[in-house]
Structure 1
Amino acid sequence: MISVTRLNGKQAWLNAIMIESVEETPDTYVTLVTGKRMIVLEKATDIIAKVNEYYSEIGIHAATIKVQQTEE
């Protein structure tokens, strides 16, 4: 789970594995694989860094890189 801040200043926790996309327009929108969208105060680069950190902590990042290299 990663921590994000909603527009009202309240903290929310998102399952990083369920994040489909992150975009800035200029607000930062996080879209989940369920289709739910959330506007957060963090910048897209911060969200991506948190997701990468989470993946590293649980060991998915290395597995993802190996799969991508194998597919290429």
Structure 2
Amino acid sequence: MIKLKRLNGDEFTLNAFMIEQIQSYPDTTITLLNGKKIVVKESEKEVTERITSYYRRIGIVYSLSEVERSSE
């Protein structure tokens, strides 16, 4: 889960596994797997860094790198 802010400043927590894509229109727009779009204050880079940090905390990044090594 990652914490983000809507354009009006309201903070919310988003399940990072629900994110399909992140775009800058120039506002950062997150499209979820269900098609819902959320516009946030954070930059695309900031959101990506928070997702990567979350994946590291729960051990996903390490697990994915192990899978890549084993398939070589």
Give the equivalent residue in structure 2 for 1:9.
9
Deviation, 1:63, is 1.4
Give the equivalent residue in structure 2 for 1:29.
29
Give the equivalent residue in structure 2 for 1:38.
38
Unaligned stretches of 5+ residues in structure 2? none
Deviation, 1:71, is 5.2
In structure 2, how many angstroms separate the alpha carbons of the residues matched to 1:26 and 1:13?
Answer: 22
Give the equivalent residue in structure 2 for 1:53.
53
Mapped pair 1:66 → 2:66: yes
Q: Structure 1 residues 64, 10: closer, same or farther in 2, change over 3 A?
A: same
Instruction: Report the identity percentage.
Output: 39
In structure 2, how many angstroms separate the alpha carbons of the residues matched to 1:58 and 1:8?
Answer: 30
In structure 1, how many angstroms separate the alpha carbons of the residues matched to 2:36 and 2:68?
Answer: 27
User: What TM-score do you get using the length of structure 2 for normalisation?
Assistant: 0.89
Deviation, 1:4, is 0.6
Unaligned stretches of 5+ residues in structure 1? none
